[in-house]
Amino acid sequence: MKKQEIQQIEYRWGMINSVKEASSLPKKIWRGSDIPNDILLAIKKENLLELGGKYGNEFWGDPIEYNQLRIISDKSVIEIEFFNLGIAMFKTDDDVTKRIFRVLAKLKHS
């Protein structure tokens, strides 16, 4: 079986007053060979291609901390939306939250 190849990564992060504002946040995009190797390794290590969906709680903060990750591969498109990740790290001890946090932390600094 051929392994899944990531073709593009899109990442949006910022503080918003309402979920409706999320699309106005700037988006970073990495394509093909421009995707940093440490990001690819982190996505693989944390198994993010098996996740997808909405996480956190938009009512935990005012303003809302918003993270959106879109991973486009040759086989699928995975979208992860996380509301108030920083607060979620303190409120929960969830393994999925920690996995997503570790990858998003790398993306913020790339």
pLDDT digits 0-9 by tens, 26-78: 999 999 999 999 999 999 999 999 999 999 999 999 999 999 999 999 999 99
Domain hosting 64: range is 6-108
Q: Does residue 75 sit within a domain?
A: yes
Q: How many domains does the chain have?
A: 1
Rg of the chain over all Cα atoms, to the nearest angstrom = 14
Share the mean pLDDT of the chain. 94
Residue 47 domain-assigned (yes or no): yes
Query: 89: which 2 tokens?
Result: 């790290």
* Unique residue bearing structure tokens 């993306």: 107
Confidence bin at 2 (pLDDT 50/70/90): low
Is the full-model pTM beyond 0.75? Answer: yes
Let me know if residue 1 belongs to a domain: no
Q: How many C-beta atoms lie closer than 10 Å to residue 62's C-beta?
A: 10
